[in-house]
């Protein structure tokens, strides 16, 4: 099977089974999503959705959070992974939004990655989800699933995976493909035990063909 054929059949299956995938993080505006994505690093969306309501009530705007210290923020997020570091990042992020971007979440990757707590993956999530741009955020799920299926061939870093996926997926589908791969990795193609019996991609999957 050629790479082009594998991509075509994979995309067709996802379009059929998940025509409108969305993030599982709860948010109401770009600022809230940015907060949630920063918190979600190495933590589950379920946990983040448990802590953000109280956090957003206390700090409903970037201006409100910018006036807080990491010690102020910590009690709201103490149950997530690496809360000390994330509290510092949230305080720094809010100050950056207020002082450098007029309280608005910027819509370009170069600006986003200057914000504390925002790396390329987080920036791409914001670009794809908030601004509907053709950005592919590569987290552990996307990295693993892409390699297992055979969408990537010799990608050793998230950036290599991102570039390979973007080069093969139609631009108008890239934002959706990000969610397809994440959700597939979260619920079907799990890290320790992929649920191949309930996967519709076994006919094209490189990993399954080797079993």
Instruction: Encode pLDDT of 114-130 as tens digits.
Output: 999 999 999 999 999 99
Could you tell me the pTM of the whole model?
0.90
Residues whose CB is less than 8 angstroms from the CB of residue 192 and which lie 6 or more positions away in sequence, other chains included: none
Find the mean pLDDT for residues 105-110: 96
Q: Both tokens of residue 29?
A: 């505006």
Residues whose CB is less than 8 angstroms from the CB of residue 67 and which lie 6 or more positions away in sequence, other chains included: none
Would you place residue 210 in the very low, low, confident or very high pLDDT band (cuts 50, 70, 90)?
Answer: confident
71 catalytically annotated: no
Choose among 136, 186, 198, 200: nearest CA to 165: 136
Instruction: Encode pLDDT of 15-64 as tens digits.
Output: 999 999 999 999 999 999 999 999 998 899 999 999 999 999 999 999 99
Instruction: Encode pLDDT of 139-173 as tens digits.
Output: 999 999 999 999 998 888 999 999 999 999 999 99
121 catalytically annotated: yes
Instruction: Encode pLDDT of 70-79 as tens digits.
Output: 999 999 999 9
Helices (H), the chain: 3-17, 30-40, 45-58, 62-66, 70-77, 83-101, 109-112, 120-129, 140-149, 158-168, 174-187, 206-209
Catalytic residue among 72, 121, 132, 133: 121
- Spatial contact of 39 and 77, defined as CB atoms under 8 Å apart: yes
Catalytic residue among 88, 133, 139, 154: 139
């Amino acid at each position: 099977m050629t790479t082009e054929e594998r991509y075509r059949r994979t995309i067709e299956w996802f379009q059929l089974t998940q025509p409108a995938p969305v993030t599982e993080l709860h948010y109401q505006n770009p600022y809230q999503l940015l907060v949630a994505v920063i918190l979600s690093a190495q933590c589950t969306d379920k946990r983040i959705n448990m802590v953000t309501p109280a956090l957003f009530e206390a700090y409903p705007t970037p201006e409100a959070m910018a006036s807080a210290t990491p010690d102020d923020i910590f009690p709201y997020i103490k149950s997530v992974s690496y809360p000390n570091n994330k509290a510092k990042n949230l305080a720094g992020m809010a100050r950056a939004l207020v002082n450098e971007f007029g309280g608005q979440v910027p819509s370009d990757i170069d600006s986003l990655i200057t914000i504390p707590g925002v790396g390329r993956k987080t920036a791409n999530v914001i670009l794809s989800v908030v601004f509907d741009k053709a950005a592919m955020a590569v987290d552990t799920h996307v990295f693993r699933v892409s390699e297992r299926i055979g969408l990537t061939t010799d990608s050793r870093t998230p950036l290599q995976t991102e570039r390979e996926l973007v080069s093969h997926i139609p631009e108008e589908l890239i934002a959706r493909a990000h969610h397809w791969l994440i959700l597939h990795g979260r619920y079907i193609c799990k890290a320790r035990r992929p649920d191949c019996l309930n996967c519709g991609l076994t006919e094209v999957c490189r990993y399954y063909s080797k079993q």
